[in-house]
A = this chain, B = another copy of it.
Amino acid sequence: MNNKKEKTREYILEKSSQLFSEKGFKEVTMKDICEVTGLSRGGLYSHFSSTREVFEALLERITSEDEFDIEEEIKKGSSAVEILNASLTRIRKEIEKPEESLSIAIYEYAQANDSKEIVRLNQRAEEKWSKLIRYGIEQGEFKKVNVNEMVSVILYSYQGVRMWSKIMPIKKNTAIQITNNIKNQLIIK
């Protein structure tokens, strides 16, 4: 019945994801997780032995589910503009429901654990965006911008919005404004 154990595990991740999303990483306790899952102390501990472990499992799930695959899209022959639009829309949507986002928790986790995982995630994102921009330039769809510069602006301006939107009522159109700015800097005409 390995299945049962696996199911409980998934259930714990599900429920604690909500917790981490609300309270960040540092303020979640094993007791909290017991409460939201309805598990007993010992029950929870037989699956994970610290909030850190739970969170790492969660991180793994997130990064493996991965997301929109820019490289895949390039292979499929989608145009750079299409891919750009799709990518920016995905980010914007995510920002628009901050209650589901783990960004604070990821941030706190990273600070408390100097995690390499986070660095890796960031590098991967950088690479993807670089590829897309180069692809757009090659295709004649994008202006001949400084690629690294553009990637930095994209990544960090979204990070900034994403993070602050969780703790401040950010005007709805802020994300749209940033999206527009990026598009204007990139797309020809």
**CB–CB A110/B161 < 8 A:** no
A188 at the interface (CB under 8 A from B): no
Chain A count of residues within 8 A CB distance of the other chain:
39
Q: Are A167 and B27 also in contact (CB < 8 A) when A156-B157, A161-B156, A177-B153 are?
A: no
The docked-state distance in angstroms from the alpha carbon of A174 to that of B153 is: 9
The docked-state distance in angstroms from the alpha carbon of A157 to that of B185 is: 15
A24 at the interface (CB under 8 A from B): yes
**CB–CB B155/A160 < 8 A:** yes
Among A27, A114, A160, the one with the most B-chain Cβ atoms within 10 Å of its Cβ is: A160
**CB–CB A156/B152 < 8 A:** no
The docked-state distance in angstroms from the alpha carbon of A163 to that of B161 is: 11
A92 at the interface (CB under 8 A from B): no
- Chain B residue contacts of A122, Cβ below 8 A: 164, 168
Which A residues, 133 to 170, have Cβ-Cβ distances below 8 Å to chain B? 146, 148-150, 152-153, 155-161, 163-164, 166-169
From B108, B149, B181, contact of A108 by CB (8 A)? B108
Instruction: Provide 21 A-B residue pairs closer than 8 Å at the C-beta atoms, listed in order of the A residue.
Output: A24-B26, A26-B108, A27-B112, A110-B168, A118-B167, A118-B168, A119-B168, A119-B169, A146-B180, A149-B180, A152-B174, A152-B178, A153-B157, A153-B181, A156-B156, A156-B157, A156-B160, A159-B160, A159-B164, A160-B160, A160-B163
Top-10 shortest CB links A-B: A156-B160, A160-B160, A159-B160, A157-B157, A149-B177, A26-B26, A110-B167, A152-B177, A156-B161, A156-B157
